[in-house]
A and B are shown apart, each in its own frame.
Chain A
Amino acid sequence: MGMGIHGVRLDGHKNTVNCTPVEMPIPEKVCLPLALLGANTSTILVKKGDEVAVGQPIADQGKGIGVPVYASVSGTVAGIETLRLTNGSMVDAVVIATDGKQTVWEGVKAPSVTDRQSFLEAVRQSGLVGLGGAGFPTWVKLNAEVDRLIINGSECEPFCTADYAALRDFIGDVSEGIELVKKYIGIEKAIIGLKHPPKGAEEAFKAIEGAEVQHLREYYPIGAEKMLIKETTGRVVPGGKLPKDVGCIVINVNTLAYLARFIRTGMPLVMRTVTVDGSAVNTPCLVTAPIGTAVSDIFAAAGGFKEEPTKVLAGGPMMGVALESLDFPLLWQNGSFLALNAKDAKLPEPGACIRCGRCVDACPMNLMAFQITKAYRARDLETLKTIRADLCIECGCCAYVCPAKRDMVTSNKLAKRFMADEAKKEANK
């Protein structure tokens, strides 16, 4: 569908597709930050010394689009710390010293869901955010009038297999999630986008009324929301608009599985499975860990390092962020941690643009990537607006293909921020 294949072809490195997730021992402590998206309006409900149990709320939903935060372990609140998120924002985080018992909070019970409103409220109370990586509150996404539910099973970042594992081990939960959303949000048709699904997944999905499976083409970033919508429905999300504006909700398979489990049991997302891989690890594997577990504990549970890692990524190699410390906690939306050795960690030195046009060919958003850098350097707002630099989805294809090894994604991000700042200044005039 659409115009030619943009994007890039990447080696999958899906080394962990056949792994059974290792359930790690309960760590000594977990760290649960508030406000994933940087807008911290939640109020912390516990204080140092409080006893907490698994599934107990430790922060309320706050204002706006916020969601509550739940204890992922049982134990004692050791304190409230300040944590710097990878986007640079500073947030409060509740640190819990675990007791290893994983006592379940007595308030955990299945929510009563009877209609759309009670369903959305339940999803909000579940604390669920998009588990594919973006971490956007799921209830906000679902609060829309649409005619297409698109299920993202593409997992197009190399190494990542947490979504694959959900399709393999929890296909019943994923299917149940699809049925719940279809039923309560009122969506007639669901399209499930898959790449190399595990055995049985396709059959299970076909049993759902109004659902169809679409095999996705083999390119990155087919799993990016706008690409997936175009690929499955032919619809194009206009610049500055959301999927719901073209009648679509896109949701990740893992998110659906957790959603179904919450509606069934009332247990919020307290544990998740992540891929642990990269050239510096001993054994690539899947690990199931409580949310808030330090990355160092996860690597230790996975079998430790073969050599000292030079770079550690949360997420995939194309869009993942490099962590500054192994103390950083596992967050809800993290699907993988990759530890890279010195050789893989080193990025090549950038050279001059030779105007080869590879970035133009690779951009899935059809942007003239090389021009963004040039226009941003000149702080040329008019050109940035004309070439729609604001539509860059930061997928990394341009920088990946660049033979001069230019860091185009960073200049695109800076250009977008510059445009947003200028727009704000304009609005304040």
Chain B
Amino acid sequence: MKLLVTPAPHIRDKETTQSIMLDVVIALLPALVASVVIFGIRALIVTAVCVIAAVLSEFLFEKGVKRPNTIQDLSAVVTGILLAFCLPVDIPLWIAALGSVIAIVVVKQLFGGIGQNFANPAATARVILLICSFGGAMTSWTIDGVSVATPLADGVIPPSVTTLFLGRHGGCLGETCAAALLIGGIYLLIRKVISWHIPVAYLGTVAVVSLAAGQDLALQLLGGGLLLGAFFMATDYTTSPMTNEGKLVYGVGCGLLTMMIRLWGATPEGVSYAILLMNILTPHIDKLTMHKALGGDVK
């Protein structure tokens, strides 16, 4: 009888990279449904274009460089949805597709693929689109074809808290419905896909700074891309710290940078920039918050 010899452990938890990414996709569905209700069927088209472009570019790039195919891990699907959620509903579809290609090829694959990128692909692609010449197309918000401003812009009368919760206001297509994003975020917490550290530190810091600066708390928390960023983008495993202590530091950093940009910056919103900057600091935070081994202080 021939026996298989493998190293221990001989049992493994059932969670896989794919099951984790599937959970993220599920958590994003309420916001997707909300975006279709708020912005119309074009929200779904933009999302589909982003997802298809992301998956296709991952598939083709990996084939081109003869890397093992990883599209079945669903991480490219997550990137596609997240990028779409950061775009206005009227974005030309080719720009949306280009964003996905940048996210997957430039930000993710050129750095080695899943787990190797130093910055969040969706957030980085959004920032690249913003600072390229597509700035106008990236920040013109409409609902039912009528042009509206993001509630965070100067001089705009802030919508009611109910409107902020339900999301019928200007903004990127996946970021406006706070209720849907909270449902998704809580789902991720319950499924233990994310821990509370980053969202709580991030949202808490924004809340504290808002109050200290005399800002409208509900508007700051719910009016921009904060919930999408705090639950879905800042919590990206690859680009956030490994330890819980590090996650707290990182969350506070995201919150401070977001508020600095919102209060003093040239743009009304700062979530993607803040996350991107903290992504770059992640290796340093990891180093500073490294765990001390049990009994490791005696040589």
- List residues of chain A with CB under 8 Å of any chain B CB: 8, 10, 158, 226, 230, 236-241, 308-313, 317-326, 340, 344-348, 351-357, 360-361, 363-368, 370, 387-388, 391, 394, 396, 399-405, 407, 409-410, 413
With A239-B296, A364-B294 as contacts: A409 and B1 at CB distance below 8 Å: no
Give the distance to chain B from A194, nearest Cβ to Cβ, in Å: 23
Give the distance to chain B from A160, nearest Cβ to Cβ, in Å: 13
> Is B1's CB under 8 angstroms from A309's CB?
yes
Residues of A within 8 A of B190 (CB): none
Check: B114 CB closer than 8 A to any chain A CB: yes
Further pairs besides A322-B8, A388-B293: 4, Cβ < 8 Å: A318-B10, A320-B8, A366-B291, A402-B13
> Is B16's CB under 8 angstroms from A313's CB?
no
Give the distance to chain B from A264, nearest Cβ to Cβ, in Å: 36
> Is B12's CB under 8 angstroms from A347's CB?
yes
> Is B114's CB under 8 angstroms from A313's CB?
no
Check: B5 CB closer than 8 A to any chain A CB: yes
* CA distance in complex: A220, B222 (Å): 42
> Is A368's CB under 8 angstroms from B115's CB?
no
Residues of A within 8 A of B4 (CB): 310-311, 322, 345-346
Check: B238 CB closer than 8 A to any chain A CB: yes
Give the distance to chain A from B5, nearest Cβ to Cβ, in Å: 4
With A326-B3, A347-B6, A399-B12 as contacts: A357 and B242 at CB distance below 8 Å: yes
Give the distance to chain B from A47, nearest Cβ to Cβ, in Å: 32
User: Dominant SS at the B interface?
Assistant: loop
Q: Which 5 A-B pairs have the closest CB atoms?
A: A396-B9, A238-B298, A388-B293, A357-B242, A388-B296
User: Could you pull out 21 A-B pairs where Cβ atoms are within 8 angstroms?
Assistant: A226-B294, A237-B295, A238-B298, A240-B298, A310-B4, A311-B3, A311-B10, A317-B10, A321-B8, A322-B4, A325-B3, A347-B10, A354-B75, A355-B237, A366-B292, A368-B242, A370-B242, A399-B9, A399-B12, A401-B15, A403-B20
> Is B10's CB under 8 angstroms from A391's CB?
no
With A239-B298, A241-B295, A401-B13 as contacts: A407 and B242 at CB distance below 8 Å: no
Check: B214 CB closer than 8 A to any chain A CB: no
Total interface residues in chain B, CB < 8 Å: 40
Residues of A within 8 A of B70 (CB): 351-352
> Is A354's CB under 8 angstroms from B238's CB?
yes
Give the distance to chain B from A361, nearest Cβ to Cβ, in Å: 8
Give the distance to chain B from A181, nearest Cβ to Cβ, in Å: 25
With A317-B9, A400-B13 as contacts: A355 and B294 at CB distance below 8 Å: no
- List residues of chain B with CB under 8 Å of any chain A CB: 1, 3-13, 15-17, 19-20, 70, 73, 75, 113-116, 237-238, 241-244, 290-299
With A312-B3, A354-B114, A355-B238 as contacts: A322 and B10 at CB distance below 8 Å: yes
> Is A320's CB under 8 angstroms from B298's CB?
no
* CA distance in complex: A350, B138 (Å): 39
Residues of B within 8 A of A345 (CB): 4, 6, 10
Interface residue from B5, B73, B291, B299 paired with A324 (Cβ < 8 Å): B5
* CA distance in complex: A318, B290 (Å): 26
* CA distance in complex: A340, B75 (Å): 33
Q: Name which residue of chain B comes closest to A398, CB basis.
A: B9
Give the distance to chain A from B210, nearest Cβ to Cβ, in Å: 29
* CA distance in complex: A236, B296 (Å): 10
Residues of A within 8 A of B12 (CB): 347-348, 399-400, 402, 405
Q: Name which residue of chain B comes closest to A410, CB basis.
A: B7
* CA distance in complex: A407, B43 (Å): 42
* CA distance in complex: A238, B294 (Å): 8
Interface residue from A309, A325, A354, A396 paired with B8 (Cβ < 8 Å): A396
Give the distance to chain A from B80, nearest Cβ to Cβ, in Å: 17
Residues of B within 8 A of A320 (CB): 8, 10
Give the distance to chain B from A426, nearest Cβ to Cβ, in Å: 14
> Is A391's CB under 8 angstroms from B296's CB?
yes
Q: Name which residue of chain A comes closest to B10, CB basis.
A: A317
Q: Name which residue of chain A comes closest to B194, CB basis.
A: A356
Residues of A within 8 A of B13 (CB): 8, 400-403
Identify the interface centre among B9, B12, B243: most chain A CB within 10 Å of its CB: B9
Residues of A within 8 A of B10 (CB): 311, 313, 317-318, 320, 322, 340, 344-345, 347
With A317-B10, A351-B73, A354-B114 as contacts: A323 and B3 at CB distance below 8 Å: yes
> Is B295's CB under 8 angstroms from A357's CB?
no
Give the distance to chain A from B183, nearest Cβ to Cβ, in Å: 22
> Is B1's CB under 8 angstroms from A308's CB?
yes
Q: Name which residue of chain A comes closest to B247, CB basis.
A: A357
> Is B237's CB under 8 angstroms from A387's CB?
no
* CA distance in complex: A403, B75 (Å): 13
Interface residue from B11, B242, B292 paired with A355 (Cβ < 8 Å): B242
Identify the interface centre among A346, A357, A402: most chain B CB within 10 Å of its CB: A357
